């Protein structure tokens, strides 16, 4: 692990503070008229998700966090543990459902995901940005409800619930942005 000083701070740089990995969300270099320059930094803990504002004196050094990302295929879950397989080594790992609360609503068997590790610890699972998923349940459209931007709820095959236009029916395949959970278009 290398060290970085404040002149190398930038967005998405991963650093170690109090023996935990953090990512720089915002970095502002401040040079006051009087006194020493400093960096006003907003950082996010990669384990807990906690966000802090922190000030570093100009020239101060911190350790860089070695966070690795591996492409892994989601295989299955037993309700408590989600099993992923490394696409190159075929090594399998299990991740507790509580560690991937938000991401698991986009996990479909055989989906290729990016899994981030800090040492042996799993930090995050990132599903593909765009996924094509089938609608398993939605209310029928109400006749005459043609006002602009009218939406209804739809449940997808992964269990995720999203807002869709009223013309969407059960069995249709939709293209979804997993970052925002938004309907983009019907898939072919």
Q: What is the CATH number of the domain that holds 56?
A: 2.30.30.30
Average pLDDT, the chain: 88
Number of structural domains (the chain) is 3
pTM score, whole prediction:
0.74
Read out DSSP for the chain? Answer: --EEEGGG--TT-EEEETTEEEEEEEEEEE--SSS--EEEEEEEETTT--EEEEEEETT-EEEEP-EEEEEEEEEEE-SSEEEEEETTT--EEEEEGGGGTTGGGG--TT-EEEEEEETTEEEEEE--SEEEEEEEEEPPPPTT---TT-EEEEEETTS-EEEEETT--TT-EEEEETTTTEEEEE--
Give the per-residue pLDDT at 124.
86
Instruction: Among 34, 64, 94, identify where a domain stops.
Output: 64
Predicted pLDDT of residue 2: 83
Angstrom distance (rounded) from CA 188 to CA 186 = 7
Please indicate, yes or no, whether residues 151 and 113 belong to a single structural domain of this protein: no
- Do 73 and 57 share a structural domain? no
Integer Cα distance of 20 and 45 in angstroms: 7
Q: Domain of residue 169: give its range.
A: 130-186
- Asked whether 138 and 152 are in contact (CB, 8 A), the reply is yes
Looking at the fold, whether 115 and 134 belong to one and the same domain comes out as: no
pLDDT given at position 40: 93
- CATH code of 75's domain: 2.40.50.140
Per-residue pLDDT in tens (0 to 9) along the chain, 188 residues: 589 888 899 988 999 999 999 999 999 998 988 889 999 999 999 888 889 999 999 889 999 999 899 999 999 988 889 999 998 899 999 988 888 888 888 988 999 999 999 888 888 899 999 999 999 998 887 666 555 678 889 999 988 999 998 888 889 999 999 989 899 998 87
């Amino acid at each position: 692990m290398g060290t970085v000083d404040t002149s190398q701070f930038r967005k998405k740089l991963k650093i170690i503070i109090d023996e935990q990995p953090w990512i720089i969300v915002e970095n502002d270099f401040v040079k006051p008229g009087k006194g020493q320059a400093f960096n006003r930094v907003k950082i996010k803990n990669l384990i807990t998700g906690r966000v802090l504002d922190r000030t570093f004196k100009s020239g101060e050094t911190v350790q860089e966090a070695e966070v690795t990302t591996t492409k892994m295929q989601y295989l299955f879950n037993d309700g408590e543990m989600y099993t992923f397989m490394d696409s190159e080594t075929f090594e399998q790992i299990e991740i507790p459902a509580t560690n991937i609360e938000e991401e698991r609503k986009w996990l479909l068997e055989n989906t290729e995901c990016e899994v981030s590790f800090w040492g042996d610890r799993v930090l995050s699972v990132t599903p593909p940005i765009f996924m094509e998923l089938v609608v398993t349940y939605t209310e029928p459209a109400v006749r005459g409800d043609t006002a602009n931007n009218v939406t209804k709820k739809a449940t997808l095959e992964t269990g995720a619930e999203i807002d869709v236009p009223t013309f969407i029916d059960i069995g249709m395949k939709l293209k979804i942005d997993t970052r925002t959970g938004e309907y983009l278009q019907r898939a072919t």
